[in-house]
């Protein structure tokens, strides 16, 4: 059954703004992220080594930076909100000779039946999804009960002063980059109904984390 969130629940204006911001950045995204990518690469590798099952969903595939790590034996489906990002991902998939289903979609209203996937992955996405709890609850719905949800995310610092600075500068960062830097993503994962199994601090005192969660049984 496909029981997506009613469109009325989704903040259409915020979602259109997010799409417009990433559309504007899509042609320079890989260049812009080039320096950081050296640090992200081993984290991506680590996350994808945890993936199991045959039916895998990647949310917010962006320009396809995870594609080199996609399990070759799996049936991959990937979505993104932004046509410009997806276009680059399509080219990358072709270059890598990958067979996959790549389509436009919104994490907040996934166009898949319940329990369609063994695992869902998102890297640096839930900082941008306008309603992250709604998006994460959609993952909880489309992953089979007990299946995996694996996330790499940056989030608000637990340090009191640094956290407050992140709150202060967040509006400017969102306007410029499309991403919120002060999300409380671990709490959001719990709030979505997913079960957090493990959280690993990766960098900057836990601003960057790997989150291993399980869809509700």
Ligand X SMILES: C[S@@+](CC[C@H](N)C(=O)[O-])C[C@H]1O[C@@H](n2cnc3c(N)ncnc32)[C@H](O)[C@@H]1O
Rounded Cα distance, 51 and 69, in Å: 10
Q: Is 124 in the site for ligand X (CB under 6 A)?
A: yes
Of the candidates 105, 15, 97, the one whose C-alpha atom is nearest the C-alpha of residue 60 is 105
Nearer to ligand X, 126 or 147 (CB): 126
Please tell me whether residue 149 binds ligand X under the rule CB under 6 A.
no
Rule CB under 6 A: say whether 210 interacts with ligand X.
no
CA–CA distance, 26 with 71 (Å, rounded to integer): 25
Which of the residues 59 through 88 are near ligand X (CB under 6 A)? 59-62, 65, 79-82, 85
148 binding ligand X? (CB under 6 A)? no
In the complex, the smallest distance separating the C-beta of residue 161 from ligand X, rounded to whole angstroms, is 26
Q: Reduced to 3 states, what is the DSSP secondary structure of residue 122?
A: strand
Q: Are 88 and 63 in contact (CB under 8 A)?
A: yes
Q: Does 132 bind ligand X (CB under 6 A)?
A: no
- With CB under 6 A as the contact rule, which of the stretches 101-109, 160-168, 180-188, 203-211 interacts with ligand X? 101-109
- In the complex, the smallest distance separating the C-beta of residue 217 from ligand X, rounded to whole angstroms, is 26
Applying the rule CB under 6 A, the residues between 152 and 181 that interact with ligand X are 179
**Cα distance between residue 76 and residue 172, in whole Å:** 35
The count of residues interacting with ligand X (CB under 6 A) is: 22
CA pair distance 211, 209, nearest whole angstrom: 6
- Reported residue count of the chain is 217
Is the Cβ–Cβ distance between 148 and 195 less than 8 Å? no
- Residue sitting closest to ligand X (CB): 62
Instruction: Give the binding site for ligand X (CB under 6 A).
Output: 18, 22, 59-62, 65, 79-82, 85, 106-108, 123-125, 128-129, 135, 179
């Amino acid at each position: 059954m496909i029981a997506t969130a009613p469109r009325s629940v989704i903040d259409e204006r915020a979602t259109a703004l997010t799409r417009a911001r990433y559309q504007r950045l899509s042609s320079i995204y890989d260049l812009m992220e080039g320096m950081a990518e050296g640090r992200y690469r081993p984290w991506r590798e680590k996350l994808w080594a945890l993936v199991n099952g045959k039916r895998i969903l990647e949310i917010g595939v962006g320009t396809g930076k995870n594609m080199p790590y996609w399990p070759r034996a799996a049936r991959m489906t990937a979505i993104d909100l932004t046509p410009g990002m997806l276009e680059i991902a399509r080219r990358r998939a072709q270059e890598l000779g990958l067979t996959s289903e790549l389509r436009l979609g919104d994490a907040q209203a996934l166009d898949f039946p319940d329990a369609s996937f063994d695992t869902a992955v998102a890297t640096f996405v839930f900082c941008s999804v306008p309603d992250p709890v709604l998006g994460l609850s959609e993952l909880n719905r489309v992953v089979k009960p007990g299946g995996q949800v694996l996330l790499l995310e940056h989030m608000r610092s637990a340090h009191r002063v640094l956290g407050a600075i992140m709150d202060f500068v967040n509006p400017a960062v969102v306007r410029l980059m499309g991403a919120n830097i002060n999300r409380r993503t671990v709490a959001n994962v719990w709030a979505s109904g997913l079960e957090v199994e493990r959280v690993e601090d990766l960098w900057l005192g836990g601003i960057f984390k790997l989150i291993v969660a399980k869809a509700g049984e």
